[in-house]
Amino acid sequence: ACAGCGETPYAKLLTQLFGERMIIGNATGCTSIWGGSAPAIPYCVNKDGFGPTWGNSLFEDPAEFTYGMFLATMQRRKKLADLMHEALNTNIPKKVKDALQGWLDNMKDAEGSKKFGDQLKVLLPDYKDNPVLSEIADMSLLFTKKSYWIFLGDGSAYDISFGGLDHVMATGEDINIMVFDTEVYSNTGGQASKATPTGSVAKFTASGKKTCKKDMGRMAMTYGYVYVASVAMGANKQQMLKAFTEAESYDGPSLIMGYAPCINHGIKKGMGKSQEEEKLAVRSGYWPLYRYNPVLKAQGKNPFILDSKKPDGNFQEFLSGEVRYASLQKTFPEESKKLTVRLEKEYMERYETLKLLADPKSICDEDKKEENK
């Protein structure tokens, strides 16, 4: 990866958390270059020989690619569960029955399925003469619940493969999506994508992008059953860790968008300050931190949590620290002023909207204040 890349730290943490049972469907792009350039790859196994299973698909279909693997595993685990039910109806020792029943009760739980799966790995070799138990033993790699992840950049997520992502989210299946958002097509040289904000200079938008960034997070929230989070490691590590663990444990689709400073941004302080740049992006209101958790909705609580504070008023200062915005001030100063002012207005309005989602009662309080005047 490029020095200071904002993408790789997210991948490292995710694999540290879930790597031993993780299956990654990776779109072609930056993530597949630093993730799978032979003869060296960054993914590794633990002392027991377990690590991420990684596969690289096309730019346009990582969602379908991963969904296919997910469905195949679900069918195989269903077959495994059927075999266990069959075994429970036969004359086998109580300790084996207890382990089988324990696995069936916890097959959708990562820790539980591993716990009882490990018990079965110890017990089943003693029953090779039992054809059903022998077949169950042969499927031991399916004992632990797998963690499915789609890795892709914003060019793939917001543009080229958005239809596939939308389809996967709409299925309601337990698949996690990690979007490494650099706000440009980084791997192909920095072209504008639908994630590129208003006023940003990129290839095909040399005079500044005239349209706003696609709000993929709020679009996904409209389903109501998709876990959605916006994170920035350099700004709030605790919030990011919560988002990762909540998304993975949620029995349904999840979408996480991680802000990833890129060499194409032209950070004036240098890429060695990319984590600090993430902090400035959040403080200025450029990148919001939030979580939408459907589990809270099922409990009768507000599912939306706004984790970032009110913007600190340094929005324009943040923009001037990156060449992708500052360069327009030199080439088209009037256009630059118009677009950056518009961008700030868009993002301040976005913050107010998110604040309202986090505290719907606040609008009622404001209305009461107006009535009392």
Domains observed in the chain: 183-362 (3.40.50.970)
Does residue 123 surpass a pLDDT of 70?
Answer: yes
Quote the crossing angle between the two packed helices 94-105 and 110-123, to the nearest 10°.
160
* Environment class of 226 (CB within 10 Å of its CB; exposed 0-12, middle 13-18, buried 19+): buried
State the chain's mean pLDDT as an integer: 95
Report yes or no: 87 and 135 within 8 Å, Cβ to Cβ. Answer: no
- Give CA–CA dist 370/364, Å, rounded: 10
Indicate the pLDDT class of residue 189, thresholds 50, 70 and 90.
Answer: confident
Q: What is the pLDDT of residues 322-355, one digit of tens each?
A: 999 999 999 999 999 999 999 999 999 999 999 9
Q: What average pLDDT score do residues 294-303 get?
A: 96
Q: What average pLDDT score do residues 240-248 get?
A: 98
pLDDT of residue 36: 87
pLDDT of residue 18: 97
Indicate the pLDDT class of residue 1, thresholds 50, 70 and 90.
Answer: confident
CA nearest to 173, candidates 163, 165, 161: 165
pLDDT of residue 365: 63
Lowest model confidence (mean pLDDT) among 249-258, 298-307, 361-370: 361-370
Neighbours of 370 (CB within 10 A): 8
pLDDT of residue 283: 98
Map residue 282 onto helix, strand or coil.
helix
Q: What average pLDDT score do residues 52-61 get?
A: 92
Indicate the pLDDT class of residue 39, thresholds 50, 70 and 90.
Answer: confident
Among residues of the chain, what percentage have pLDDT more than 70? 97
Enclosing H/E stretch for 328: helix 323-331
Does residue 95 surpass a pLDDT of 70?
Answer: yes
pLDDT of residue 367: 59
